[in-house]
A = this chain, B = another copy of it.
Amino acid sequence: MPTETERCIESLLAVFQRYAGRDGNNCTLSKREFLAFMNTELAAFTKNQKDPCVVDRMMKKLDLNSDGQLDFQEFLNLIGGIAVACHNSLVVNAPTP
């Protein structure tokens, strides 16, 4: 049986493949695929954004080599960024002993 960490790595691979496989190059997320990912998998975040350009700007920022596509490493930087932000907010908001 896989451990929690192994399950997590498998999930990240599966989610990326699910969206990257929709059109064109199935090793990268196009802008359209990234939007679909954000609006489905991270809807709790996107629906609270008042600025409709926020996902566009995120895509530009994540696309380190500016090829208009997100590869798996660039996608992981997003997941890592969100996880670090959650972690920091939990640590900052934790009651001091």
Contact = CB atoms under 8 A, between A and B. Distances in A.
Contacts of A44: 6
Interface in A6-32: 6-9, 11-16, 27
A13 B80 contact: no
A13 to B, nearest CB: 6
A66 interface: no
Contacts of A43: 3
Interface string A17-59: 0000000000100000000010011111000000000000000
Interface of A: 3-9, 11-16, 27, 37, 40-44, 72-73, 76-77, 79-80, 82-84, 86-87, 90-91
